[in-house]
Chain A
Amino acid sequence: EAQVTQNPRYLITVTGKKLTVTCSQNMNHEYMSWYRQDPGLGLRQIYYSMNVEVTDKGDVPEGYKVSRKEKRNFPLILESPSPNQTSLYFCASSLGQSISYNSPLHFGNGTRLTVT
């Protein structure tokens, strides 16, 4: 089944403890991206990647890192999490190097992160 898989689904951690949220897609998609979803703020882009080893900042990149060493994987790294990073995180991918009518965005089922 074609899908974007995120792990873990739920994560509770403490301030300052480094964590990684994994994202993997099995559709051979070029483009991958991370979003955070907060009540009243909608979906905001954190980072995106157009191809292996090519990444760029989205609208809210502060406090996050990403890497794209393989086409299928795009992990999100929080090196020193803080409570304001408590959120619902989504990984997404699309076929082409950008998003388009013929290359829509496909989302994973989310990771709910709580930082205490």
Chain B
Amino acid sequence: QQQVKQSPQSLIVQKGGISIINCAYENTAFDYFPWYQQFPGKGPALLIAIRPDVSEKKEGRFTISFNKSAKQFSLHIMDSQPGDSATYFCAARGGAGSYQLTFGKGTKLSVIP
């Protein structure tokens, strides 16, 4: 079964610090890697996404770093804020025209003042 392994399961970061969440995959056919952010009582919402022909994608304080040879990608949250406290999911699509996203198991981030 296709898998995306996400770590850590939970993360506590001080306000202003850098939050880093990592994901690894095995299937080299994966070709689209989104990150979702979920607040309590809400559905996941797309945060940022990257294609494998790009090594880094930055949007504001959020950056995806992608290492195709290592089959790893990570989310970096710079200057973390208490409002960033949420659960984050990485995901991967299984190739062009695939109808499925495979999700990691999630990371609960708590940013403390």
Q: Which residues of A contact B (CB under 8 A)?
A: 4, 31, 35, 40-45, 48, 50, 56, 58-59, 90, 92, 97-101, 104-110
Contact = CB atoms under 8 A, between A and B. Distances in A.
A101 B51 contact: yes
A99 B46 contact: no
Interface of B: 1, 6, 9, 32, 34, 36, 41-46, 49, 51, 89, 93, 97-101, 103-106
Contacts, number: 63
A100 B93 CA distance: 8
A110 B89 CA distance: 16
Contacts of A90: 43-44
Contact of B105 (A4, A42, A56, A105): A42
Contact of B98 (A35, A41, A99, A108): A99
Contacts of B1: 59
